[in-house]
């Protein structure tokens, strides 16, 4: 697992002293996010708005600890409009390509170790079989040869290999071939899509519909990542997210985890004002004055989301004033 590098003297750096504890903590959190998601220092716009405030982002950008789109630093990549990039992230921290190369090298080493263990097991079994077969073959050959002496093995009576039952042990049936990496990923994704403790209620329709469409990914996400997905569902709807993802899905190189889809969903347009995200529930009795029932867990989840957004907006207005 990679780690975000922070110099031991960072606490006394002039930029950190001018940024203050809150902005510096936000910068460290951005570095941790980039390291966890292997973004090469790029911070998506929705993550920047969720983690920090407008004054903190402006302070980090002014001090050069963070760059927005169109910056003039020749050492840092240009992010998309609205996104940010951590200044000088690459160098102290390994790139995505380097980390994936290290992981593949470690996986190859593991595969080699497992293959060596399996080879040792198979070689031990083959040596036993060969020994038994050699005994049977030797007896059979001895019975077919013309003896030179009266007491030669196999000259009198039947040799051990000529009986109705052979001395060689039956060769064990071959073990089934291991599943391919794609089959393992699909099996793991299907289990994670049907296992549910880690999937909140509002995300269950999205997980089920994507799995049914053959778009299998891992849904082991943090609370903050589910918070972002909930925001996408509320502004764009589950059906639109599934269709949007299907149009961009590459079966030859699918993502391994749903966290990479959040960048795709961030590009989705919002639903027109007043468009329902779910079909309206039918009344219990046609023509009667009945209040439609709404799932309590969904109501509680939406209320929590609304309260969190209200607190975030109030905090941003307070700090900007």
For 42-60, what is each residue's pLDDT tens digit?
999 999 999 999 999 999 9
Contacts of 26 (CB under 8 A, 6+ apart): 51, 52, 56, 57, 60
Q: For position 260, what pLDDT does the model report? A: 82
pLDDT at 268: 82
Query: What pLDDT is attached to residue 60?
Result: 96
> Which residues fall within 8 angstroms of residue 10, CB to CB, at 6 or more apart?
16
Integer Cα distance of 131 and 159 in angstroms: 17
The proportion of the chain whose per-residue pLDDT surpasses 90, expressed as a percent, equals 33
Quote the CA–CA distance of 25 and 101 in Å, as a whole number: 30
Most confident range (mean pLDDT) of 149-153, 209-213, 219-223, 293-297 is 209-213
CA 197 – CA 206 distance, rounded (Å): 15
Among candidate residues 14, 25, 9, the one with its CA nearest the CA of residue 92: 9
The reported pLDDT for the residue numbered 105 is 92
Confidence of residue 321 (pLDDT cuts 50, 70, 90): low
Q: Return d(Cα 263, Cα 147) in angstroms, integer.
A: 83
- Of 9-13, 96-100, 190-194, least confident by mean pLDDT is 190-194
User: Residue 193: its pLDDT value, please?
Assistant: 45
Nearest to 206, CA basis, from 182, 238, 250? 238
pLDDT at 224: 81
132-141, 147-156, 239-248: segment of lowest average pLDDT: 147-156
Can you give the pLDDT at residue 302? 57
Choose between 178 and 151: higher pLDDT: 178
User: Which region, left, alpha or beta, applies to residue 74 given φ > 0 means left and ψ of -120 to 50 means alpha?
Assistant: alpha
Please, what is the average pLDDT of the chain? 75
Does residue 265 have a pLDDT over 70? Answer: yes
Over the stretch 283-307, which tens digit does the pLDDT of each residue have?
444 444 544 444 455 555 556 556 6
Looking at per-residue confidence, does 128 or 18 come out higher? 18
- pLDDT score at 272: 72
The pLDDT assigned to 3 comes to 85
pTM, full prediction? 0.40
Q: What is the pLDDT of residue 26?
A: 96
Give the mean pLDDT of 87-114. 92
The three-state secondary structure class of 190 is helix
DSSP for residue 251: T
Residues 6 or more apart whose Cβ sits within 8 Å of residue 27 = 19, 60, 65, 66, 86
Is pLDDT above 60 for 174? no
The 3-state DSSP class for residue 312 equals helix
Q: What was the pLDDT predicted at 235?
A: 84
How confident is the model at residue 271, as a pLDDT? 75
Q: pLDDT value at position 185?
A: 46
Q: How confident is the model at residue 253 (pLDDT cuts 50, 70, 90)?
A: confident
- CA separation for the pair 66, 19 (Å, rounded): 11
**Confidence tier at 192 by pLDDT (50, 70, 90):** very low
Alpha-carbon distance 242 to 265, whole Å?
A: 10
CA distances from 250 to 15, 79, 215, 275 (A): 43, 24, 9, 30
Taking the C-alpha atoms of residue 223 and residue 213, their distance in angstroms, rounded to an integer, is 25
Q: Which of 169, 173, 174 is nearest to 134 (CA)?
A: 169
């Amino acid at each position: 697992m990679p780690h975000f590098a922070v110099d031991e003297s960072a606490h006394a750096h002039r930029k950190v002293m001018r940024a203050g504890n809150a902005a510096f903590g936000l910068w460290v959190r951005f570095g941790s996010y980039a390291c966890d998601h292997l973004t090469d220092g790029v911070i998506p716009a929705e993550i920047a708005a969720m983690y920090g405030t407008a004054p903190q982002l402006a302070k980090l950008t002014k001090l050069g600890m963070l760059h927005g789109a169109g910056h003039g630093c020749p050492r840092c990549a240009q992010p998309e409009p609205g996104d940010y990039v951590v200044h000088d992230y690459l160098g102290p921290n390994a790139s995505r390509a380097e980390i994936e190369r290290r992981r593949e090298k470690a996986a190859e080493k593991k595969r080699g170790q497992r293959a060596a263990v399996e080879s040792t097991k198979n070689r031990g079994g083959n040596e036993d079989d060969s020994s038994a077969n050699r005994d049977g073959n030797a007896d059979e050959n001895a019975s077919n040869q013309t003896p030179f002496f009266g007491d030669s093995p196999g000259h009198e009576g039947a040799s051990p290999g000529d009986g109705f039952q052979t001395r060689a042990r039956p060769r064990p049936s071959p073990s089934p071939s291991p599943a391919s990496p794609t089959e393992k990923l699909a099996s793991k994704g299907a289990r994670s899509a049907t296992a549910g403790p880690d999937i909140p209620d509002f995300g269950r329709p999205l997980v089920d519909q994507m799995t049914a469409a053959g778009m299998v990914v891992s849904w082991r996400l943090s609370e903050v990542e589910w918070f972002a997905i909930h925001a996408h569902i509320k502004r764009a709807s589950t059906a639109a997210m599934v269709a949007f993802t299907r149009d961009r899905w590459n079966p030859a190189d699918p993502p391994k985890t749903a966290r990479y889809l959040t960048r795709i969903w961030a590009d989705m347009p919002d639903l027109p004002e007043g468009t329902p995200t779910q079909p309206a529930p039918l009344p219990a009795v046609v023509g009667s004055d009945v209040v439609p029932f709404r799932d309590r867990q969904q109501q509680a989840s939406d209320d929590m989301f609304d309260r969190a957004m209200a607190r975030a907006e109030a905090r941003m207005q307070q700090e900007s004033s």
